[in-house]
């Protein structure tokens, strides 16, 4: 694994940072294609990228800092301004909120923008997980399976071979992206399908990770996964009913 891509003086560029930048660019390109299909100005995808990037990074850092501060007592500001500590589901909440604000600012439908971004979210998240794999973050429990991997420079380091759960998530999300692409003209709310399928995968993959159980035998990310399924299915049902009502 190669956590550091290169350094300029004392400042290092991580492979995770590179993959996150690639994820945003690729996701924006896919969103632009989808926005054109939705009858929206595709050039706005790049303007909205600024909102999504800022909201995503800020949400990821805030969630991490608040969560770790409450659990460990480490000073909030120390966690907030540390280079490490990017929590994906915090990033999802922040990016969704900021993207919705950006859509309002540019006078486009929030729902249509979210539907345009659904496939991009799954693909971008997959690329981000490549970064997690390269820096040895978010790996799973010890395993002797043939494809198990050790992360001697991981976060934290491990010399034991473990489940490469980052790869498992990629193998879940890419078919999800393909399914969403196939359903993009049929779904009443494509972003809701992304949330539900994302959460479903997280519930099962998280069972192989080492995060502590907090209640009912589930980890915090598994509870987040359940919430994503509920919100995704609930919003999908709402928009399906809304479409049926409009048709009547």
- pLDDT tens figures, 162-202: 999 999 999 999 999 999 999 999 999 999 999 999 999 99
| Residue that the structure tokens 């604000």 belong to | 101
Predicted local confidence at residue 75, as pLDDT: 86
Which tens digit of pLDDT belongs to each residue from 56-108? Answer: 888 888 888 887 787 787 888 887 777 666 777 888 899 999 999 999 999 99
pLDDT at res. 248? 37
- Tell me what pLDDT residue 73 has: 79
Q: Whole-angstrom Cα distance, residue 241 to residue 235?
A: 10
Q: Look at 218 and 12; give whichever has higher pLDDT.
A: 218
Confirm whether pTM is higher than 0.85: yes
């Amino acid at each position: 694994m190669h956590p550091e891509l290169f350094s300029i003086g004392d400042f290092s560029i991580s492979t995770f940072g590179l993959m996150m930048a690639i994820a945003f660019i690729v996701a924006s390109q896919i969103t632009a294609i989808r926005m054109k299909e939705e009858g929206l100005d595709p050039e706005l995808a790049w303007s909205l990228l600024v909102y999504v990037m800022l909201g995503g990074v800020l949400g990821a850092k805030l969630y991490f800092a608040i969560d770790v501060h409450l659990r460990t007592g480490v000073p909030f500001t120390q966690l907030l301004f540390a280079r490490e500590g990017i929590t994906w589901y915090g990033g999802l909440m922040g990016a969704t909120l900021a993207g919705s604000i950006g859509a309002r600012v540019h006078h486009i439908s929030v729902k249509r923008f979210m539907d345009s971004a659904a496939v991009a979210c799954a693909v971008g998240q997959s690329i981000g997980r490549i970064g997690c794999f390269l820096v040895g973050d978010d790996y799973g429990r010890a395993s002797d399976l043939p494809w198990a991997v050790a992360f001697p420079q991981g976060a934290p380091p491990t010399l034991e071979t473990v489940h490469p759960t980052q790869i498992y998530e990629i193998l879940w999300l890419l078919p999800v992206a393909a399914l969403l692409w196939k359903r993009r003209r049929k779904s009443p709310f494509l972003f809701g399908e992304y949330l539900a399928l994302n959460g479903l995968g997280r519930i099962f993959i998280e069972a192989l990770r080492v995060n502590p159980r907090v209640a009912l035998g589930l980890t915090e990310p598994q509870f987040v996964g359940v919430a994503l399924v509920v919100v995704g299915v609930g919003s999908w049902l709402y928009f399906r009913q809304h479409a049926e009502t409009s048709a009547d």
